[in-house]
Structures are given as structure tokens and as C-alpha cells.
Amino acid sequence: MSEDTTFNPISVTAYAVGEKKDSQKLVSFDKVEKQVKSIGPNHVFVELICSSICHTDWFTFGSKGAVPGHEMVGIVKHIGENVAHEGKIKVGMRVGMGYQFTSCRHCETCTNNLENLCDSSKPFYTAPIGGGYQTGVVWDAHFVFPIPDNLKSIHAAPLLCAGATVFTALHRYTKNPQYKVPGKPLSCAVLGLGGLGHLAIQYAKKMGLHVTALSTTASKEEECRSFGADEFYVHTTEEAKTTLASKFDIILNTVSGDIELDKFIVMLRPYGQLCMLGLPSNPRYDLSAFSLILKARSLVSSVIGSPEELNLMLKFSADHDIKPQVELTTLDKVGEAIEKVNSNKVRYRMVMIVNQEQVDKENQ
């Protein structure tokens, strides 16, 4: 691959996975200084403003030297020659990057705007200098997304994975329903109020769906309704079994862990869909075929989104004032931030500030 060498070396401070020194902690990080001496013709160098923490980063914690992070926003500082010729991404633009670093760009899925489903897709930790737990990144420009002016960086960063995941599922599976109760909006249930769930409620409501939040605890009702939920149920009660039977057109499962699939399948209307977004502990699903077949229900899934869908998601978020609830910290406190997220003490996304001056400017 030819390289663009028209700029002086750039210094980057990264927090890489280190050797675990404390058995009580999930992971240790080493502060590492790097030099970016060149970028490829299809790449850009982005100086980061902020980087958000997502549970998918945990998959890199066993790889010493890896730089995690895949929800990030920054300013484009350098572009490769092909990027300059294309003219879509320019120096000075505020942009975001998500889970996907690149894809092959020429297979059937890529040429049909489904790059996120490419068999040769490469994730964030394979980027030339790694992911977003650092002061700058080198990224494939095709997977770099301009941030709308009215969307703050600290709110945009978590949308690049969490927002994309729930928006894409709703966008794909509710556009052309096979069955719809005449005169009523589609009924959507969101299972799990967390980093994904609190955004799913907002997107579903703004898309015109009737939204129900499903939780294991009644204490979350007020908060769910503040995000836009029309109804709220504690799904573990006996009363819920009867009330929720055949009630929903789609259920978004945002829970990371195992759930009782049959329990939620029977909550679906004919042709209803249970969409799996959270990763289970057990890689195999267990459910009754009869509960699916007898009402033509479906078990479906979704993963991040294509570049086309991410751009659409960012515009929709800006147009409808959708934003995550965030807690702020700084990049140098990444170890403490990870432990807090791992203990489920964050409501609902932890964002690490890299460039405080830029964040302050956006708040003026």
C-alpha cells in the first residue's frame, strides 16, 4: 500500500492494555508514547476530542499492548491522497469513528451498502495505531462520519456504537412490517435500561412507535418514562405474563447476558420479531420452535450499522435531539473509568475527555 508522507511525524499518547498488576481490577493500562510517521492514501489522522467506553472494549483486555476504544469524536488533521481527491472528508472537519475500522469494499455486501456485514470487516483494534483510548487515531476514511453541528462531541461519541446498534435495528425491522394492527402505531418493547436501552427508547419514540420499557425492577419506571416510554412493566411478575401476551410487534433485547427466550417470544404479535442486540453468556440460544412457528414470529439480530446507516443515525439524532445520558472523566483516568463501568455504576455511558478546550468551546 502506498503511503501519504506529506506531514511531519505526529506524537500520540495512548493507554494500552498492560500486564495485570492488581487481581482486584479488571485490567491495567500502560501509558505509551507513539509516533505516526505516515498514513495510507485512504486513511485520515484524527486528533481526538473525546472517547467513550463500551463493553465491547472488554474483548481486547486480554491482549497486551492493544489500544481499546471505538466510540470517538475528533478533528481531522491529515488526510491521505485518495481521501483528498474524493473530497468527502476534509481537514478541520469534526468527525466520529465507531466499531468498524475498514472492510474489503468490493464484496457483495460492501457494494450493497452493508459494509458492516462484510466477511473481511476489521474492527477498531486492528487500526494502524489502535482504537480510541489515545489522543489520536488513524482510520479508513470510508468509516469516518461527519458530526452535525448541533450535536456535542460528548453526546456524539456513544452514538457511534450504542446509538448505531439500536437505531439500525429499529430502522431495518420497522420500516416495512409484515403485519400491523390497523389504526395503531407499531408497538415496541425495550428490554434492559442501560447504555443501549436508554437510547433505544428515545429512537423508538421519535420514530413514532408505541414504546414499552421492560425491566426487572419498578425503580426504573420514572427514568424510562423520562426517556419517552409510554408504558412500563416489571416483566418478572405473574401479572405481566397475561398482560404482555401477544402485545408487541418488536422487542429489542439490549441485555448483555442470557434471557429466557420463550418468555419474550410469546409477548410478540403475529409476525413479531425479537431482535437480539446484547451478547449472551451462552453462545447457543434455547427456545421452543412452536412459539415461533404457530404465530410466524421471528428471532432476528443486528450489529452496529453500515456507513450509510451511521450517517443517517447521526442526522436523525441531531434533528430529534436524541442524546445519551453521560458521565464525564478524562483519558488519563481510564483505569478508574473502566472499573466504574464494570461495576454497573455509570448512568449510562462513560465519556473520557481528551481535549477539554474543545469540549468547553462546544458548551459556550
For 80-123, give the DSSP string.
-HHHHHH-SS-TT-EEEE-SEEE--SSSHHHHTT-GGG-TT-EE
Instruction: Convert the pLDDT of each residue in 247-274 to its tens digit.
Output: 999 999 999 889 999 999 999 999 999 9
- Name the segment(s) of the chain with CATH classification 3.40.50.720: 166-301
- Rounded-to-integer distance, Cα 286 and Cα 305, Å: 26
Helix/strand/coil for 280: coil
Strand ranges, E, within the chain: 10-17, 29-36, 43-52, 71-79, 94-97, 100-102, 122-123, 136-140, 145-146, 187-191, 210-215, 231-234, 248-253, 268-276, 298-301, 326-330, 349-353
Strand partners of residue 271: none
Instruction: Convert the pLDDT of each residue in 109-168 to its tens digit.
Output: 999 999 999 999 999 999 999 999 999 999 999 999 999 999 999 999 999 999 999 999
Q: What is the mean pLDDT of residues 280-290?
A: 89
Instruction: Convert the pLDDT of each residue in 27-48 to its tens digit.
Output: 999 999 999 999 999 999 999 9
Residue type at 179 in one-letter notation: Y
The reported pTM is 0.95
More confident residue, 278 or 321: 321
Is the model's pLDDT at 295 over the cut of 70?
Answer: yes
Helix (H) / strand (E) element for 125: namely none
- Cβ(255)–Cβ(192) below 8 Å: yes
Q: What is the mean pLDDT of residues 314-319?
A: 98
Report phi then psi at 293, rounded to 5.
-65, -40
Instruction: Convert the pLDDT of each residue in 62-104 to its tens digit.
Output: 999 999 999 999 999 999 999 999 999 999 999 999 999 999 9
Indicate the fold that domain 10-146+325-363 takes in CATH: Quinone Oxidoreductase; Chain A, domain 1 (3.90.180)
Is the model's pLDDT at 4 over the cut of 50?
Answer: no
Mean pLDDT over the full length of the chain: 95
Pick the CATH number of 166-301 from 3.30.1050.10, 3.40.50.620, 1.10.1040.50, 3.40.50.720: 3.40.50.720
Of 20, 12, 74, 14, nearest in space to 339 by CA: 20
For 325-351, give the DSSP string.
-EEEEEGGGHHHHHHHHHTT-SSSEEE
- Name the segment(s) of the chain with CATH classification 3.90.180.10: 10-146+325-363
